[in-house]
Structure 1
Amino acid sequence: MRFPRRQRESVEVNLTPLIDVVFLLLIFFMVSTTFDSRRSLDLILPQSSQASAVEQAPLIMTIGAKGDFTLGDTSLTESALGTALARHKDQADRFGLILEADGRTPHAKVVKALDAAAEVGITRVRISTRTGTDTSPPDAP
């Protein structure tokens, strides 16, 4: 006796939902990832046991180990500090000015930056430090 064979339906794996999920995950991680906007400066910040995180996007002035000034992405000379800070005064008034000085920076350069900020009327100035309670000086590179 011959039984008729049933035709088997071809089995297919639908990859469309898998591709959709992969793209959604990719978009999620692209949107939720924060990128570090700082340039690669070799700064060794002094330590502070009272440090607190910054919750807004302030104006950042960086002073390198040799006393070179940078405001945002712009390198400055000592004579141009006042005019550059005056241009960004509204941002500094809203979010403050953070002064990131290398631990090896001469103290006179930090005072010069603070004086320039005071001359244009910036009153919200914070000095950036690294957290920790270690009181030993940072290692020199």
Structure 2
Amino acid sequence: MKFKRRQVEDIHINLTPMIDCLLFILVFLLLSTTFSQMSRMNLTLPDAQGVPPKQFDQKIEVVVDSSGHYSVNGQSLSSKEASDLNTAIKQISNDRRDLMFIIAADAKATHQDVIRVMDVAGQLGFVNVNISTKVPTRGY
């Protein structure tokens, strides 16, 4: 007796539907993702090529000396703490965040002291932050 042999079919895996689903999930995730802009701070670095300084009606100028002490609009702070700096800036700004915020740091001031001022400005929501520079003298 002769039995009919079964034909063995080759197994094929179709990956097209899986790729379609993955691309659909990727597009969905990209469209539904929101990006936080809380930590973004706009800085306008002045050009040090002799551009005349602009005059502003009201501004907040924080001076950082070489030892790391702060002065806000000419009023010296008693400590180097960020909380004291925060309080002084809040008092002067009167909740106005559109004022020009100028950081004038000594060349020998530490990077940490300048970053502390920038951090406080960012936390308070200032958008016009400038770092003042001076035009270098040329010795010809």
Q: What TM-score comes out, normalization by structure 2 length?
A: 0.54
**Corresponding residue for 1:61?**
62
Q: Are 2:99 and 2:126, in contact at CA under 8 Å, matched by a contact in 1?
A: no
Larger of the two Rg values belongs to structure: 2
**Corresponding residue for 1:129?**
133
Amino acid at match of 2:118: L
Distance 1:51 1:114, change over 3 A: farther
Amino acid at match of 2:68: G
**Corresponding residue for 1:5?**
none
Distance 1:107 1:52, change over 3 A: farther
| RMSD value, Cα | 2.4
1:75 aligns with 2:76: yes
Match of 2:90, SS state, is helix
- Pairwise CA distance, 1:48: 2.2
- Pairwise CA distance, 1:73: 2.6
Identity of aligned residues (%): 24
Q: Are 2:98 and 2:127, in contact at CA under 8 Å, matched by a contact in 1?
A: no
Amino acid at match of 1:71: V
Q: Are 2:60 and 2:93, in contact at CA under 8 Å, matched by a contact in 1?
A: no
Q: Cα deviations across residues 1-60 of structure 1 (Å, max 9, x unaligned)?
A: xxxxxxxxxxxxxxxxxxxxxxxxxxxxxxxxxxxxxxxxxxxxxx92274412214211
- Pairwise CA distance, 1:87: 1.9
Which residues of structure 2 form unaligned runs of 5+? 1-46
Matched positions, count: 88
In structure 2, which of residues 114, 122, 132 is the aligned counterpart of residue 110 of structure 1? 114
**Corresponding residue for 2:97?**
93
Following TM superposition, the consecutive aligned residue runs of length 4 or more in structure 1 with deviations greater than 4 angstroms are: none
Q: Are 2:98 and 2:126, in contact at CA under 8 Å, matched by a contact in 1?
A: no
Amino acid at match of 1:72: N
Distance 1:71 1:54, change over 3 A: same
Question: Bigger shift: 60-69 or 90-99?
Answer: 90-99
Distance 1:118 1:133, change over 3 A: same
